[in-house]
Amino acid sequence: MMDRALVLGGIIFGLLLAAPFVLPLLGAGYLAGLLIKAMLLAIAALSLDLLIGHGGMVSLGHAAFIGVGAYAGAIALESGIEEILVLLAITLVVTGAVALATGLLALRTSGVYFLMITLAFGQMIYFTLTSLAAYGGDDGLTLWTMGTLFGSDVVQNDGGLYFVVLGMLFLTWWGIYRMSRARFGRVLRAARDNPARAEVMGYAVNRYRLVAYVIAALIAGVSGLLMMQHAEFVSPTIATWQHSGDLIVVVVLGGLATRNGAILGAFFVVVIEEVLGSFFTEWRLIYGPLLVLMVLYAKGGLSDLLVPRQTQGKHP
């Protein structure tokens, strides 16, 4: 039996890999930048899907980890560290520590209380970032240097960065898929479906949830670091709870706990925003009803429209 989700994934990555070789014909800079933006959103959305789709933990503070990752990188860069692998290590350590500390507390709750506590932590992080006066405060920080890879500038132009971001997207996509099929993912799914049952199978459910929470935060942190490198600018607005909400929209729109849903959702949102935004300033007037229609009539998200799940019957 053909794995249609895998085929769709192959098509997506094939197109993304081919794009830079075709795009120069279409006027390079703008489109490459747009694709990088969409891929970065997709990475963050995939990580949030690990929480929401696979783990059943709806967080309203996930974007804060993007902010933590971006600022950890930016502050290290400002203090003179330019090697991007070192920046990556710093981002991972800082994001991981913040995730571990907030996760330990947040996971004492579940459901709507988890939503509230992640919202609170997210806002605490957001306001912390706005209070960093030395690093731009509310206005954000424009960076005058960029990370380098072993002293080389390949990760500084859109061309090189494009492939780095694509590589990270692929790793995230593939890694989360493997994880979801492995022992860890199975326990996470059981804990989502019926936590009491999972406990009585002998699983300390919260330990698995915490690990998923930290992994998701680490991925979001890396997407923040790459966002910083791409934009040469960081701003606290990437850490707002509104941005966390946008990420939830992307994941739900694409299809929860599906292989390609988060990527489809991210590209859909970025394209819609660009296309509608170029015609109307009030493009959200159209975007809103479009979301309503999608949620009402395509419950499995974009992923289900393209690759209907085999086990379930069609919707009546």
Partner 1 sequence: MSTLKIRNLNKSFGALHVSRDVSFTVPEGACHALIGPNGAGKTTLIHQISGVLRADSGQILLDGRDISDLSVSARVQAGLGRTFQITSVLPSFTVLENLAIAAQAKSGSSMRFFRDAAEERALNDIAQATLERVGLGSRAQIPAADMSHGELRLLELGIALVAKPKFLLLDEPMAGLGRAEGAALVTLLGDLRASIPMLLVEHDMDAIFQLAHTVSVLVEGAIVAEGTPDEVRASAAARAAYLGGDAA
- Applying CB under 8 A, the residues found at the interface with partner 1 are 175, 178-179, 181-187, 189-190, 193-194, 196-205, 208, 211, 311
Phi-psi region of 232 (alpha: psi -120 to 50; beta: other; left: phi over 0): left
Q: How far is the CB of 200 from partner 1 (least distance, A)?
A: 6
Q: How far is the CB of 61 from partner 1 (least distance, A)?
A: 24
Q: How far is the CB of 180 from partner 1 (least distance, A)?
A: 10
Smaller CB separation from partner 1, 189 or 243: 189
Task: Specify which residues 152 forms β-bridges with.
Answer: 149
Q: How far is the CB of 88 from partner 1 (least distance, A)?
A: 20
Smaller CB separation from partner 1, 112 or 196: 196
H-helix or E-strand spanning residue 229: helix 205-231
Alpha-carbon span 215 to 74, nearest angstrom: 21
End-to-end CA distance of the chain: 25
Smaller CB separation from partner 1, 179 or 219: 179
Is residue 102 packed enough to be buried (19+ CB in 10 Å), middle (13-18) or exposed (0-12)? buried
H-helix or E-strand spanning residue 142: strand 141-142
- Enter the tokens of residue 195: 């936590």
Alpha-carbon span 212 to 202, nearest angstrom: 18
- Enter the tokens of residue 266: 């991210």
DSSP 8-state class, residue 24:
G
Contact between residue 58 and residue 247 where contact means Cβ atoms under 8 Å apart? no
Smaller CB separation from partner 1, 153 or 193: 193
Q: How far is the CB of 316 from partner 1 (least distance, A)?
A: 18
**Distance (Å) of CA 266 to CA 65, 93, 126, 151, 301:** 18, 27, 23, 32, 12
Q: How far is the CB of 196 from partner 1 (least distance, A)?
A: 6
Q: How far is the CB of 189 from partner 1 (least distance, A)?
A: 8
Q: How far is the CB of 209 from partner 1 (least distance, A)?
A: 13
Smaller CB separation from partner 1, 39 or 50: 50
User: What b/e sequence results for 226-258 when a residue is b if at least 16 CB atoms lie within 10 Å of its CB, and e otherwise?
Assistant: bbbbbbeebbbebbbbebbebbbbbbbbbbbbb
H-helix or E-strand spanning residue 233: strand 233-234
Smaller CB separation from partner 1, 196 or 296: 196
Smaller CB separation from partner 1, 110 or 229: 110
Smaller CB separation from partner 1, 56 or 67: 56
